[in-house]
Structure 1
Amino acid sequence: MVIQQKSMLQRLKLLALAGVAAVALNACASPRGAGGGTATPDFSSMSNEAKHAAVQDLGAKYQQKPNKQTAIYFAAALRAIGQTGQAVSVLEQARLQHKNDEEIALAYAKALAADGKFNRALNILEATIRPERPNWNALSVKGAIYDQMGQNARARELYNQALVIAPNQPSLYANLGLSYAMSNQLDQAEAALRRAVSMPQSTRKVRLNLALVVGLQGRFDEARSLYARELPAEDVEANMAYIRALLTQQNKWDRIKGSS
């Protein structure tokens, strides 16, 4: 089934950067012993009010004591409200104090990518990822950047490398699923997202992305049911309207109606 790729790519690129897979670029827990370190809350899943409150709180703490953890938290919260340039600035200052710190470098790469500075972010990651001791989170962030650049197959190679190191990380399957969706491989996208959803650490955002991918395949009742588990009724219908509008723009709506 041939569809117009550009519209889906543009929308799912935004989801991958600010949504789940968003997961790779958002602040997420990185367990020690799995190639991670400082665990940070997932600000992206918070309400707008909570995000702005976190920015205010962390900004005050950063002004009082701009240590490594506060810098990483503050930058992640800034990215969650779209203040990507400010997040970059915070981490540029942190790098001056922690020049060889892997966690600061990774947070800096995330901020650069969120700010659209993909090549700079990749350069940071190339200098950070050690072939003899690869960091699954760094590989995932690198993959998310390649997805943003439209190099989906290359991104999936990195996610699969990361899964060898951290096979129980739902964020990796979530990113893999969105990567498949961005190249219109919706069956594979659904399989990866369902794997992510089945894991204990899975987030609400991953479940919403699964609903989106199910809806894009024309299974509207199932998509509505998945949304209804996570959202109030008015938001469910808004999401369903979004899916129908996206399918209409891709010239798929008539074909789905005709086959149902």
Structure 2
Amino acid sequence: MSHPYRIARTLLLAGVAAIALSACASNRGQLGSTDYAGMPAAQAQSNLGQLTERYRRNPKDRVVAIQYSAALRAAGQPTQAAAALETAMMAYPKDIAVSVAYGKALTAAGRFDQSLTVLDNVIRPDAPDWNALLVKGATLDQMGRNDEARRLYAQAATIAPGEASIETNLGLSYAMTNELPRAEQHLRRAVGMQGANTQTRQNLALVVGLQGRFDECRQIYAAELPPEQVESNMAYVRALLTQKNRWDLIEQG
């Protein structure tokens, strides 16, 4: 069973470093869209093992490098995830998909300034990639620059309307500033959109629970998780409610 605070890092701000930096950071059909964080543990471990072997055979394969990095991040290894993309970055320095994946990994590892530099190198002012904007926004959110992050999410939404990842990150951004009703509003929109996944719904459960609506929170978790994990998550929600500085305790990623 996961430690409650470990759960926080994969749930609440999963959206920003797990969700924002995984499921929501892929265009329709773009590379690296597999939801490794949402896989059962055994399947995720098997996938990681297979990707490790493929990566070792050819670390310059951009598709494998991106998928391998995503699987590593989902496994809680952000430092290794960033390292796995360094070879691909040298081979494809202007490739948007590689750069976005590298930015996600850097942000997950807490290397925020470096992530912003990588992303800014591939964000065209005249035609920005919405994934790059999304990951840059997630990075800014983790740096406490929430207003800047929200402006980027709004820009991304004009490019890719109806994407769950954008609405999710916007909701989580408001959760970070303790604006829970507004956070819930955006997360409820997100769960009905294209690309919504189990972490999107678990983020909604957490925000509902933090408003004291435990029965509803438990119901959402129960539809996504095995019973023992539901109980662990509920214990975490209750623990957060006793902490005056609960938002400081939860770091994205």
Rate the CA distance shift 1:89–1:39 in 2: closer, same or farther, 3 A.
closer
Displacement of 1:52 in angstroms is: 2.2
The question of 1:41 aligning with 2:34 is answered yes
Q: Which residue of 1 aligns with 2:101?
A: 107
Q: Which residue of structure 2 lines up, in the alignment, with residue 78 of structure 1?
A: 72
CA distance in 2, matches of 1:166, 1:249: 37
Aligned to 2:27: 30
Runs of at least 4 residues of structure 1 off by over 3 A? 10-17
Kindly provide the amino acid, as one letter, of the partner of residue 20 in structure 1: G
1:185 to 161, 179, 184: 179
Q: Give the whole-Å Cα distance in 2 for the aligned partners of 1:81 and 1:203.
A: 17
Read off the aligned partner of 2:19 and give its amino acid letter.
V
SS at match of 2:50: helix
Evaluate the alpha carbon distance shift between residue 251 and residue 125 of structure 1 in structure 2; reply closer, same or farther with a 3 A threshold: closer
Contact 1:88 1:108 survives alignment (8 Å): yes
Q: 2:150 and 2:245 mapped to 1: Cα distance?
A: 27
| Match in the other structure for 1:3 | none
Tell me the distance in 2 between the aligned counterparts of 1:240 and 1:203.
20
Q: Which residue of 1 aligns with 2:155?
A: 161
Deviations 1:221-260 (A, max 9, x none): 21122222222333222222211111122399xxxxxxxx
Of 188, 192, 199, the match for 1:194: 188
Select the residue among 75, 98, 110 that pairs with 1:116. 110
* Cα deviation, residue 20, structure 1: 2.3
Higher relative contact order (CA 8 A, sep 6+): 2
1:143 partner amino acid: G
Structure 1 residue runs of 5 or longer lacking an equivalent are 1-9, 253-260
Structure 2, gaps ≥5 residues long:
1-5, 247-253
Q: What is residue 203 of structure 2 aligned with on the other side?
A: 209
Does the CA contact (< 8 Å) of 1:24 and 1:137 recur in 2?
A: no
- Residue matched to 1:222: 216
Out of 229, 233, 237, the position equivalent to 1:235 is 229
Residues 61/95 of structure 1: CA separation in 2 closer, same or farther (3 Å cut) = same
For 1:92 and 1:161, how far apart are their aligned partners in 2? 29
| Preserved contact between residue 12 and residue 203 of structure 2 (Cα < 8 Å) | no
- Equivalent-residue separation in structure 2 for 1:249 and 1:172 (angstroms): 28
Greater C-alpha radius of gyration:
1
Match of 1:6 in 2: none
Alpha-carbon offset, residue 186 of structure 1: 0.5
Kindly, what percent of the aligned residue pairs are identical?
Answer: 49
Paired residue total: 238
Deviation per CA, 1:191-230: give whole Å up to 9, x if none. 0000001124210111111111111111112112222222
Q: Distance in 1 between matches of 2:72 and 2:9?
A: 19
| 1:248 alignment partner in structure 2 | 242
> Structure 1 residue 162: deviation in Å?
0.5
Aligned 1:52-71 pairs, distance under 5 A: 52-66=45-59, 67-71=61-65
Question: Are the aligned partners of 1:95 and 1:104 in contact in 2 as well (CA < 8 Å)?
Answer: yes
**Residues 162, 193 of structure 2: 8 Å contact kept:** yes
User: For residues 234 and 39 of structure 1, what CA distance do their matches in structure 2 show?
Assistant: 30
What is the alpha-carbon distance in structure 2 between the residues aligned to residue 184 and residue 201 of structure 1? 25
- 1:47 deviation in Å? 2.8
TM-score, normalised relative to structure 1: 0.85
